[in-house]
Amino acid sequence: MAQPERSANLGEVNHSVQIRERQGEDELNQVVNLLVETGLVIPEKIVEARIDARMYPVLVAVKDGQVVGCIFVGPKLGISVFYFAVTEEDRRQGIGTKLVYSAEDRLRSAGNGRCVLEVKKGDPGLFKFYGNIGYKQVDQQQSRMIKVL
């Protein structure tokens, strides 16, 4: 399977954005707030998200000392990556692509040959985003997508 050009869009990433693993309680709080602000976590599920953020590696995009994006690396219930978010104002700058590629690199280094994720139904833009970086929809009825690493 031909892989998309990994350097595409990455040149557009603001050089002041750093992708790395989450550090400390302040960044944990910023990650949880980002998940709530982007609608990935409802307030009633904040405790569960905080537990996940301690149990699984969380890669963050940090700009000017603030978390502007995150992705959790599993596996969790058969999903390789989850809770992927970028602030509204920081989208379309290559940050999300760089976060996904960093998560894929981490999975590949751990010996995983594929990345499985779920896309929120009703979000065609996200299906397109993942399709552009090499993910294929498992079937038309499911929201799962897969990419061979």
pLDDT by 10s per residue, the chain, length 149 = 444 445 434 434 556 899 999 999 999 999 999 999 999 999 899 999 999 999 999 999 999 999 999 999 998 878 899 999 999 999 999 999 999 999 999 999 999 999 999 887 777 888 899 999 999 998 776 788 999 99
- The secondary element (H helix, E strand) that includes residue 96 is helix 95-109
First to last CA, the chain: 9
Q: 46-55 and 24-37 helices cross at what angle (nearest 10)?
A: 130
Give CATH superfamily name and number for 17-148. Answer: Gcn5-related N-acetyltransferase (GNAT) (3.40.630.30)
Nearest partner of 67 among 75, 58, 76, judged by Cα: 58
pTM of the predicted model as reported, rounded to 2 decimal places: 0.86
